[in-house]
Amino acid sequence: MVLGIIKLTYILLGIYLMIACISGTASFIFALILSSLVSIGLDLLVAKYAER
């Protein structure tokens, strides 16, 4: 369940990054920041879930 959510999120991030590449550099930088924040958040969620 958790792995499925993570895979889905990474697929969505990949699509978003491709769109950002096409539309320009500023949004690409924003996308990188956003994706790193999301991956950190996911890592924290997985760690909390694993502790239970």
- Token pair, residue 34, equals 């956003």
Please give the mean pLDDT across all residues of the chain: 79
Q: Is the pLDDT of residue 26 over 80?
A: no
Q: Where are the domains of the chain?
A: 2-51
Write down the pTM of the prediction.
0.43
Buried b (16+ CB within 10 A) or exposed e, 23-50: eeeebbeebeeebeeeeeeeeeeeeeee
The reported pLDDT for the residue numbered 1 is: 65
